[in-house]
Amino acid sequence: MLWKLLLGGLLAAASAALFGLLRRRLLLPLRAEEALLLLPARDGAEDLEQRLRACRLLARWGLVEGAPVILDLGLSDEGRALAERLADALDAGLCAPDELSLLP
């Protein structure tokens, strides 16, 4: 009886691992070096923190790879200060449209 429980547990663990691997392959066909996650920000960047935290959550779940980049599309002084603080705190990049060609 014990060996049936152990075998069932092993089978369940193997199935979960296989499902996780297939999910990543199907949902993330590109490697992190091939894709760039841009978050456009304007004016006061009111919802920027929420969008950055959503990106972190997706990365934790294995659905997104790489750090997001905040794209400054006309941030106010307050918005730029907020974007800089969030970029430092949440491991994101910050650039203007003319700096996109400099990104790796």
pLDDT at 84: 92
Same domain, 26 and 65: no
**Mean pLDDT score, 48-74:** 85
Same domain, 62 and 16: no
Same domain, 52 and 88: yes
Same domain, 98 and 84: yes
Number of domains in the chain: 2
In which band, very low, low, confident or very high, does the pLDDT at 79 lie, cut at 50, 70 and 90? Answer: very high
Residue span of the structural domain in which 49 resides = 31-104
- Terminal Cα distance for the chain, rounded: 56
pLDDT at 57: 86
CB 70 within 8 A of CB 95: yes
Asked if residue 90 has pLDDT above 90, the reply is no
Cα 90–Cα 92–Cα 98 angle in degrees, nearest 5: 150
pLDDT at 32: 56
Same domain, 22 and 46: no
In which band, very low, low, confident or very high, does the pLDDT at 72 lie, cut at 50, 70 and 90? Answer: very high
pLDDT at 3: 82
Same domain, 25 and 46: no
pLDDT at 46: 87
- Mean pLDDT over all residues of the chain? 83
Same domain, 24 and 35: no
Asked if residue 16 has pLDDT above 70, the reply is yes
Same domain, 12 and 43: no
- Helix (H) / strand (E) containing 88: helix 77-89
